[in-house]
C-alpha cells in the first residue's frame, strides 16, 4: 500500500469560541480572526511537518485547496506544492486537488501542474476536484454549472498535456484558439490523476470510466460510507467490463497514534473534536448549494441532517471509523482490518487536524512512521 501524508494546514490558532459563535469557519467568519504573524509561523511549521514526512518514509506528501476558511490555509495548493518540490528529493507530491470549476482558466492549472511536474522531475500526482459547496458561495461561481465546468476544464487540461500544440479548443465554457503548453509535463503521458470526493454518484461514474480509470479517494467519512463508495467505484468498473486495481482506490482519514490507546485518546480529544465540531461545521445551505449535487443526493443529506450536522465526540468518531486513534498496535490492526475488507491501495493519513499543536503532531507522525507505516506498506 502507498502511504500518503496529507495536510490541510488549518488555522490552528483560531479562537474556537468565535468559530462556534459564527456557526461556521467557512465563508462568513470575519477575516479579522486571521493573524498574519501567527499565519507565518503556521505555514512554516506545516511545511516543515510535510518535509519531515519524507524523512520518516511516507511515499507521498499531499496538499489541497480551500478558500476563505480557517479549515485550511491553502487557497493555492500550487504554492505549497512548489515549495515542497524544491525541498524534497524522493517523495511524490500530490495536489488533491485543484478546484477546476472555480478557476476562470483551466490552462493555468495545466501550466502550473506541468511546471511542478517538470521541476520535481516527474514526482507530481495531480488531483482534480470541484471545490466544496461553500466555495461556490465564496467565489460566486454558479454551482448549477459545476459538473459541466469540471468535465470541460478536465478535457482541456488533459488534451493540453497530451496533444501536440498548437491546437484550438472550442468548448461551452472555455474557448482557446491556441493551446500550446510550455512546459509540457515531465511524466508520460501526464501525471497520474486522483479524484478526491465525498461520494457523488456523478463523480464515481466519471472517474471509473475505462477511458480514465482515475484513482478515487473517499475523504473524511464514516468507515461504512467509505466502504459503500469504494464498493460502488469497484462495481462501476465491473459494469464497464474491467476490474479496478487496488491502486485506483484511496481513503483519506485523520489518524492519531499514542503510546497507549488511553493516552492517544486523551491527547487527541480536544483537537479532534475542534476539527470535527468547529472547523468542519457548516449549514446545509452552505455545504450543498443548488446543482452542486443531484437533487436526490441533496434529499438524502437532508434526511441524515441530524446525524451529519450535530456534534460528534472522539469516542463516537472512533466507533464510526471517522477517526483512527490508539496505540501503534491498535491503529495498525484497524487499518489491516479495513484494508482486508476494502483493498484500497492508497491510504492518506492526516497526522495534524484542527488545533493539534506541533509537538503532538510530530510525536504522532513519528509513532505512525515507526509502528504503523512499515506494516501497512507491506500490504499488497
Task: Summarize as ranges the residues that interact with other proteins (CB under 8 A).
Answer: 27, 136-137, 140-145, 283, 285-286, 289-291, 295, 298-299, 302
- Closer residue to other proteins (CB): 150 or 353: 150
Q: Look up residue 139 and give its three cell numbers.
A: 467565489
User: Using alpha carbons only, what angle is made at residue 257 by residues 316 and 47, rounded to the nearest 5 degrees?
Assistant: 110
Q: How far is the CB of 142 from other proteins (least distance, A)?
A: 4
**Under a CB-based contact definition with an 8 Å cutoff, are residues 176 and 107 in contact?**
yes
- Closer residue to other proteins (CB): 117 or 135: 135
Q: How far is the CB of 232 from other proteins (least distance, A)?
A: 23
Sign of CA dihedral 274, 215, 338, 255: negative
Q: How far is the CB of 287 from other proteins (least distance, A)?
A: 11
- Closer residue to other proteins (CB): 15 or 285: 285
- Closer residue to other proteins (CB): 133 or 250: 133
Q: How far is the CB of 19 from other proteins (least distance, A)?
A: 17
- Closer residue to other proteins (CB): 123 or 137: 137
Q: How far is the CB of 137 from other proteins (least distance, A)?
A: 6
How distant is the alpha carbon of residue 29 from its chain centre?
22
- Closer residue to other proteins (CB): 27 or 351: 27
Phi and psi angles of residue 326, each rounded to the nearest 5 degrees, phi first: 155, -165
Integer Rg of the chain from CA: 20
Question: CA dist 257 to 52, 206, 214, 224, 329, Å?
Answer: 17, 36, 30, 22, 9
| DSSP letters spanning 184-246 | PPSSSS---EEEEES--HHHHHHHHSTTT-PEEEEES--HHHHHHHHHHHHHHHHHTTSPPPG
Q: How far is the CB of 170 from other proteins (least distance, A)?
A: 17
- Closer residue to other proteins (CB): 121 or 290: 290
Q: What does the alpha-carbon distance between residue 337 and residue 343 come to, in Å, rounded to a whole number?
A: 10
Q: How far is the CB of 311 from other proteins (least distance, A)?
A: 19
Amino acid at each position: 500500500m502507498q502511504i500518503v501524508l496529507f495536510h490541510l494546514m488549518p488555522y490552528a490558532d483560531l479562537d474556537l469560541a468565535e468559530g462556534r459563535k459564527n456557526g461556521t469557519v467557512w465563508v462568513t467568519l470575519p477575516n479579522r480572526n486571521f493573524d498574519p504573524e501567527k499565519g507565518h509561523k503556521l505555514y512554516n511549521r506545516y511545511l516543515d511537518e510535510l518535509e519531515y514526512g519524507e524523512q520518516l518514509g511516507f511515499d507521498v506528501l499531499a496538499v489541497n485547496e480551500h478558500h476563505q476558511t480557517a479549515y485550511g490555509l491553502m487557497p493555492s495548493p500550487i504554492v505549497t506544492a512548489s515549495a515542497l518540490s524544491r525541498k524534497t528529493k524522493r517523495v511524490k507530491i500530490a495536489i488533491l486537488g485543484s478546484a477546476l470549476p472555480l478557476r476562470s482558466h483551466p490552462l493555468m492549472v495545466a501550466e502550473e501542474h506541468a511546471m511542478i511536474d517538470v521541476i520535481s522531475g516527474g514526482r507530481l500526482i495531480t488531483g482534480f476536484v470541484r471545490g466544496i459547496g461553500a466555495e461556490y458561495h465564496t467565489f460566486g461561481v454558479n454551482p448549477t454549472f459545476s459538473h459541466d465546468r469540471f468535465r470541460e476544464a478536465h478535457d482541456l487540461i488533459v488534451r493540453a498535456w497530451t496533444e501536440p500544440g498548437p491546437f484550438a479548443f472550442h468548448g461551452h465554457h472555455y474557448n482557446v484558439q491556441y493551446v500550446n503548453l510550455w512546459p509540457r509535463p515531465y511524466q508520460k503521458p501526464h501525471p497520474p490523476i486522483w479524484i478526491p470526493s465525498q461520494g457523488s454518484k456523478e463523480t464515481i461514474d466519471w472517474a471509473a470510466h475505462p477511458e480514465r480509470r482515475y484513482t478515487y479517494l473517499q475523504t473524511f467519512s464514516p468507515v461504512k460510507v467509505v466502504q459503500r463508495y469504494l464498493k460502488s467505484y469497484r462495481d462501476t468498473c465491473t459494469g464497464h467490463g474491467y476490474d479496478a486495481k487496488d491502486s485506483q482506490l484511496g481513503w483519506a482519514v485523520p489518524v492519531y497514534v499514542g503510546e497507549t490507546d488511553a493516552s492517544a485518546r486523551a491527547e487527541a480529544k480536544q483537537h479532534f473534536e475542534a476539527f470535527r465540531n468547529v472547523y468542519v461545521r457548516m449549514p446545509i445551505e452552505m455545504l450543498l448549494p443548488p446543482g452542486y449535487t443531484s437533487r436526490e443526493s441533496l434529499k438524502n443529506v437532508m434526511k441524515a441532517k441530524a446525524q451529519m450536522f450535530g456534534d460528534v465526540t472522539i469516542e463516537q468518531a472512533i466507533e464510526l471509523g471517522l477517526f483512527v486513534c490508539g496505540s501503534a498496535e491498535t491503529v495498525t490492526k484497524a487499518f489491516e482490518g479495513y484494508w482486508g475488507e476494502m483493498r484500497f491501495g492508497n491510504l492518506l493519513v492526516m497526522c495534524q487536524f484542527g488545533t493539534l499543536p506541533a509537538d503532538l503532531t510530530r510525536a504522532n507522525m513519528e509513532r505512525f512512521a515507526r509502528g504503523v507505516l512499515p506494516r501497512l506498506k507491506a500490504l499488497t
